[in-house]
Structure formats: C-alpha cells, structure tokens
Amino acid sequence: MLYRADKMIGGLAGEKTRWTQKSIELGEKQTMLNGDCLLASGLLSYGGPFISQYREALEELWRTKIKEVGVKISPGITMKGLLGNPIEIRSWSVSGLPGDNLSVENGIIMFNSRRWPLMIDPQT
C-alpha cells in the first residue's frame, strides 16, 4: 500500500512545475478579466449592426479607451477569443456557417443575446 502511494506521489511530482506555471498564468489573466469582459460585452451589445471593418475599428477604439482609463486588458483579446467556444464554432462550420470572423462573431452574438439582435448578413 505504501509502495503505491509513494509511486503516485512520485508520479505527480513532475506536475508541480506545470501547475505552478499554470497558477501564475491564471493569476495574470485574472487581473485582466475586467477589461476583457468590458470589451467583449461592449461588442456583444453594440457590435451586431456593423460590418467587419467597423467592428474592428470599434474594438480597437474601445481597447485604447480601456487602457487610457487604467483598466488592464489582455493584448489582442477579441470577442471571439473570450466568448467563442471552439467546439461550438466548429459545429457551426459543419452546419454551413462561413468561417469568416464576421459570421463567427454573428453566431456568438446570436447565442449570447437575450433578445433578437440586429445583425448584418455577410452574404447579403
């Protein structure tokens, strides 16, 4: 019995480094969570009616303003990166949704909105 316990503890010892690193990464992400959520929720609420160029400009403007007021934000964070579920996005692709960023963002807005959002159809 002690032999098995010792073997299990020895096997998990190698995970200590990985767990320590992951803990540090999660701590850093936690400090940026407010800014990330602010950006994603703003795009979720207000980004639907715009074409992709306007959404990108709006996202960059908000990212700049969030930094100006002193709120930490992850570099390069996007609505797709924070709210997108890769498995769900893949199932949308399999079902025929185009893989462009605008279509995926529209899907994210549709599935995360409580009411019927105003959307732009990229396929006209």
Domain span at residue 4 reads: 1-31
**53 plus 20 within the same structural domain:** no
pTM score, two decimals?
Answer: 0.70
**67 plus 112 within the same structural domain:** yes
3-state secondary structure of 124: coil
Which two structure tokens, joined as six digits, stand for 107? 């899907």
Residue 16: per-residue pLDDT: 75
In this predicted model, what pLDDT tens digit does every residue of 4-28 receive, in sequence order?
877 777 777 777 788 888 888 888 8
**118 plus 106 within the same structural domain:** yes
Residue 117: per-residue pLDDT: 66
**45 plus 66 within the same structural domain:** yes
**24 plus 84 within the same structural domain:** no
**122 plus 75 within the same structural domain:** yes
For the chain, residues with pLDDT lower than 70 are 1, 117-124
From CA 100, how far away is CA 59, in angstroms rounded? 17
Single-letter code of the amino acid located at 65: K
Domain CATH for 57: 1.20.920.20
| CB atoms inside a 10 Å sphere around CB 113 | 13
